[in-house]
Amino acid sequence: MRRAGDLTGRAQEDRPMNAATRPTLSILLTSWNTREQTRLCLQSLADTVDADLDYEVIAVDNASRDGSAELLAGWPRVDLIRNERNLGFAAAVNQAYRRSRGELILVLNSDIRFHPGALSRMLGFLRDHPEAAGVSPLYLNLDGSFQQHYIQLPSFPATLALVTVLRRVPGFRRALHTFEMRGEDFSRPRRLASGSCLMVRRRILEPDEIFDERFPIYWNDALLVRRFDEAGHQVWVVPDAVVDHVRGASCRLLGPAIRYRHLLGSLVGYLRLTQPRHRVALFRQVVLADHLLKLLCRRQVQLTLPDLRAALRADVGPLPDGDTRDWLIVFTRTAWPAPEARAAADSRTARGDRLLLVDPPASRINRRSRVTALTDARWRFTPPTLLPFGAWLPLVDRINRQVAAAAVRRWLDRQSGVRLLRLDDHRADCVRGRLGEDEVLPDPTPPPVPQREFA
């Protein structure tokens, strides 16, 4: 299995363990541009941990740009490893694990918040059940509702339903619902696990890694649970140990295309390790056919055809590094530098977001789009115009704007960051849902601007 390289502080990772000073618990915390979530996680940990518990916190920051590493460096009891680039979740956990010394290991995502007593109840379950190899808590959403975030090994029909239109076919839909454990009873302890908050005994783990680093973000936890099952190790969910989970705080920053390529590519890698070759070939053919059918029906697809083919070879592509600020995409009434566009730029970039101002379609046919960097936080997007006379013909205008939305999405899919959409032009309402946006902000409806101001 692959080992990550180019690490800062690598010489300190493999410290020899002294049994006399070994703590009870090693907490392995991973971080990538989730400063506020990390702060809340560490605060909830400090509030719930028993005073007599001997524990250590080993945090790995994957080259965050939002101050996460600085927060961790100044937090009490945190031993920090700072990476010079984003190595992914699996490699970061393994780095922390190689430095850890505890008899028990807690793999912890930065978007977890402990309820009072949660940690002690997880520890107590392992103390009272020596046959149990590990334990996970009960997950809640921030609104208090139940969150199903547990690892179930998927059947082959479930994998097809997960990524294709077959999810609408009854048999495949039933397999997907079984994989998602819909309607299951989580009111009692049961044999399940979750990689977001997983406490296990060191003795059941490999000596130098927990996760397979060929799976940087997705499906590494499923392979770990599969290995536990094959070895007869029991991992339990304890419903009286409760945590809140934001779910995907870091993954949202990847952008839809990067996120989906990692999900699909890692799923293909998982199938190659767990399924016969003919099933892997069938999976690839069905996913490719599903993609081509969506294109034929003019449906939105997650990946370009070259990226899809790469994912079907289990090539997840590079991990994003660098700028992960949120995007505000504004479809403007008039081309930059209209006053309302300037106002949007000033208000959003002051918050630290990136702004993409999309010009309205031109009056003449234009086959190419153009992106112009105005500052390090503002970009102007001049989209292609497929048909002329859109200013006078509503149907033509709608087609042009949907073409513009497709061009904008292709460009954004190569960028990381959460996407927020605002429509300063009411005629651009037809682009909603075509940009993979996470949220649509309300239109501030500024007053009309006299034409003479643009002369």
Query: For the packed helices 256-274 and 277-296, what is the interaxial angle rounded to 10 degrees?
Result: 150
Over pLDDT 70: what percentage of the chain?
89
Backbone angles phi, psi at 261, to 5 degrees: -65, -40
pLDDT at residue 347 in the model:
59
CA distance 319 to 213: 12
Which residue from 5, 177, 183, 199 is spatially nearest to 91, judged by alpha carbons?
5
Using pLDDT thresholds of 50, 70 and 90, give the confidence band for residue 236. Answer: very high
Give CA separation, 200 vs 1, 19, 92, in Å. 21, 18, 17
| Amino acid in position 73 | A
Other C-beta atoms closer than 10 Å to the C-beta of 208 total 12
Q: What DSSP assignment string belongs to 348-403?
A: HHTTT-EEEEEPPPPSS-B---EEEE-SSSEEEEE--B-SS-TTT-HHHHHHHHHH
Domains parsed from the chain with CATH numbers: 10-151+192-250 (3.90.550.10), 255-312 (no CATH), 327-454 (3.40.50.2000)
Averaged pLDDT for residues 419-439: 85
Contacts of 87 (CB under 8 A, 6+ apart): 4, 6, 7, 62, 95, 216, 319
Whether residue 209 contacts residue 97, with contact meaning beta carbons closer than 8 Å, is answered with: yes
CA distance 89 to 62: 8
Backbone angles phi, psi at 331, to 5 degrees: -85, 110
pLDDT at residue 77 in the model:
93
Backbone angles phi, psi at 21, to 5 degrees: -110, 10
CA distance 107 to 210: 9
Using pLDDT thresholds of 50, 70 and 90, give the confidence band for residue 160. Answer: very high
Residue 212, classed as helix, strand or coil, is: coil
C-alpha 126 chain-centroid distance: 30
Whether residue 46 contacts residue 25, with contact meaning beta carbons closer than 8 Å, is answered with: no
pLDDT at residue 87 in the model:
93
Averaged pLDDT for residues 180-198: 89
The mean predicted confidence, pLDDT, of the chain is 87
CA distance 322 to 103: 36
Which residue from 407, 372, 371, 358 is spatially nearest to 386, judged by alpha carbons?
407
Q: Give the dihedral of Cα atoms 427, 291, 263, 310; nearest 10 deg.
A: -110
Using pLDDT thresholds of 50, 70 and 90, give the confidence band for residue 5. Answer: very low
Bridging pattern class, strands 104-109 and 25-31 = parallel
Q: Where are the alpha helices (DSSP H) in 34-117?
A: 35-48, 68-73, 89-99
Tell me the per-residue pLDDT of 219-232, one tens digit each, with 9 for 90 and over.
Answer: 999 999 999 999 99
Averaged pLDDT for residues 143-154: 89
CA distance 224 to 102: 19
CA distance 262 to 389: 42
CA distance 345 to 153: 46
Peptide bond into 207 cis (omega under 30): no
Give the chain's length: 455
Averaged pLDDT for residues 171-190: 91
Least confident of 197-201, 410-414, 419-423: 410-414
pLDDT at residue 127 in the model:
95
CA distance 56 to 72: 13
Over pLDDT 90: what percentage of the chain?
59
pLDDT at residue 333 in the model:
79
Tell me the per-residue pLDDT of 278-289, one tens digit each, with 9 for 90 and over.
Answer: 999 999 999 999
Which residue from 398, 409, 407 is spatially nearest to 433, judged by alpha carbons?
409
pLDDT at residue 320 in the model:
76
Identify the H or E element spanning 79: strand 78-82
Least confident of 16-25, 276-285, 313-322, 408-417: 16-25
Tell me the per-residue pLDDT of 302-359, one tens digit each, with 9 for 90 and over.
Answer: 888 889 999 999 999 888 776 778 889 999 877 755 555 556 555 555 567 889 999 9
Across 230-382, the runs of DSSP E, i.e. the strands, are: 234-245, 327-331, 354-358, 370-373, 378-382
Q: Which two tokens stand for residue 390?
A: 């859109």
Residue 127 burial by Cβ neighbours in a 10 Å radius (0-12, 13-18, 19+): exposed
Whether residue 270 contacts residue 283, with contact meaning beta carbons closer than 8 Å, is answered with: no
Q: What DSSP assignment string belongs to 138-197?
A: EEE-TTS-B------PPPHHHHHHHHSGGGGSHHHHHHHHHHTTTT---SS-EE---TTE
Q: Which two tokens stand for residue 351?
A: 């918050």
CA distance 361 to 394: 12
